[in-house]
Amino acid sequence: MSSESASPGPSSMPPSGEQTQDWMAIMTAMSRNFSDFMARQPFPDAARAAAVQTALPPISFPAPEAERINALHQQWLASQHQLWQAFAQRKADEPGTPVVRMDPADRRFRAPEWSESPYFDYLRQAYALNSAFMRECIEATPVADGRAKERMRYLSKQMIEAMSPANFAATNPEFIQTALRTEGESIRKGMENLLRDLQQGYISMSAPGAFEVGRNLAVTPGSVVFENTLIQLIQYAPLTDKVHAKPLLIIPPCINKYYLMDLQPENSLVRYLVEKGFTVFLVSWRNPDDSMGNLTWENYLSLGPLTALDVVRDITGDAQPNTLGFCVGGTILASALAVACGRGEKPAASMALLTTLLDFSDAGELACLIDEGMVAAREATIGRGGVLAGRELAQTFSSLRPNDLIWNYVVGNYLKGETPPPFDILHWNCDSTNLPGPFLTWYLRNLYLENSLRVPGKLEVLGVRLDLGKIDMPAYLLATSEDHIVPWTGAYLARGLLGGDTTFVLGASGHVAGTINPVSKDKRSHWTGGDASNAQEWRASATEHPGSWWKHYAVWLAGKSGKKVAAPKTPGNARHAVIEAAPGRYVKGLATT
């Protein structure tokens, strides 16, 4: 909402019944705008119709909710009247008394220029009032469907963050002061940054050219010892004279590049484990192009973890390697192990799942974007063949945190003409990957939408009825406390599905920063040892430990990895010779679709 349209004059009257009805109409329209959005998309008629019909239910306002909306409207008018009076009475050369308490954690309005000028001070406070009003109206809107309410929250968040006065040149005093101080150079540089980002197709979040895979990212020594159409398998060179007898196979997510697990040496989980004496193998997924648009969930399981396990067994001679999966890589790993266990095999000695969902009943912010209409639309367009562009996938994830991952860089890069600092995780975040349509739509429908993986025997994959309860090996389950993609309470539900003993660990921070929490910096905390049937009771009884969870996992893994033996002198074997040095070709493939 703009400050001009949202601000009443000095003598505002309480809202009439007609005004209240107007606000109800506005809220109803907001609740349906997702349907309108879907209706405008270039989907086939049947998919578009399904999207419109199922996006959001009709909304009515019973008397209690109508009274609540009315009360919010009156409160908002009174606050805007008070703010307008303060602005009208403030002298330009005197500090004002804030009417609205600004969030001290909001970095957008910290600069002194926002409070020194009566005009800009008014703009930021009016924006804070309008934002709070919109959020409160969303909460007061009577929507019984929890997923629909989450979608309303998501859509309102996009509107609120987009309309911040900090995002526009005319309403951002920092833009004006920077332009004056640099004699217009910041404007020229900002336009240059904008043209560069338009050409590359994404907003730069890290200094361009600061990082390169194989030069200062993914540099832990290793060799590609196997490849097929979908994966390369990397065997990392030992960094100790003796290693644990049992190897570890890592399955990273296929929706991102693997090198999140092997960033710079000081924050590489792969290097840390190799330095602790583990023989590490890792799957590097190929970035799919149009020729791979028919790959399915079954292809990813058979060509991915199941094949990789066979190769690791052949190279090391160990029949039951340890395994680790991160995010959707963990879901793929658990599905593959369920297939193997369903065949009567004993495929692995242990399984670690990092920020992974197996039960999707508590599926985080992404779930609000996934409903029957959306899935039907994808099935009709790419479900029988085709590729979801990595750029679209990256934009979806960025929209979950629009202020941090979109508007922050719009303001810095374009309005202020700044170059973002080098940041390896954000470089990785911009290195998009495509996804085959059949794989994606199966995943969305069967897991996010219908939550079928948790039900024994409901899904048949590779000729096996999946039953996670047959995975009877020890499992290490990591979740992170501020994860907006995989809520820690959702990750905890895996404990009730798996057949073996589970060790649950909760790390501080979010999905990525909580997982990539290197021992070299030893920040944050992690919690262990709780014993309860539900997540909240577990946390209440858990013990907090300072520093990285990596140390705890290394001790747990060592207990599953056997005695120390002489480190292998060469990678691979006669059947699996070295193809090329790590990081290999596949990780360097760009999402050009």
* Active site residue ranges: 327
d(CA 235, CA 271): 12
CA pair distance 128, 160, nearest whole angstrom: 10
417: left (phi over 0), alpha (psi -120 to 50) or beta: left
| Residue 353 DSSP code | E
Alpha carbons 394 and 406: distance in angstroms, whole number = 11
Q: Output the DSSP codes for 497-543.
A: T-SS-EEEEEESS-TTTTTS--TTT--SEEEE----SSHHHHHHH-E
Which pair of tokens denotes residue 312?
């690791």
The 8-class DSSP code of residue 370 comes to: -
> Virtual CA dihedral for 207, 209, 214, 217, nearest 10 degrees?
-10
Which region holds residue 511: left if phi is over 0, alpha if psi is between -120 and 50, else beta?
A: alpha
Q: For residue 157, how many C-alpha atoms fall within 13 Å in the half-sphere facing its CB?
A: 17
Vertex 4 angle, CA 3 and 7, to 5°: 75
Which residues, 6+ apart, have CB-to-CB distance to 135 below 8 Å?
Answer: 153, 156, 160
Report the SS3 class of residue 13: coil
At 225, which helix (H) or strand (E)?
strand 222-227
CA dist., res. 403 & res. 410, Å (int): 10
For residue 111, the one-letter residue type is A
Residues 6+ apart with CB under 8 A from 421: 206, 207
Helix (H, G, I), strand (E, B) or coil at 207: coil
Q: Which helix (H) or strand (E) holds 566?
A: strand 564-566
On whether the CB atoms of residues 493 and 362 are closer than 8 A, the answer is yes
Whose tokens are 């920092």? That residue is 174
CA distance 376 to 268: 39
Neighbours of 539 (CB within 10 A): 18
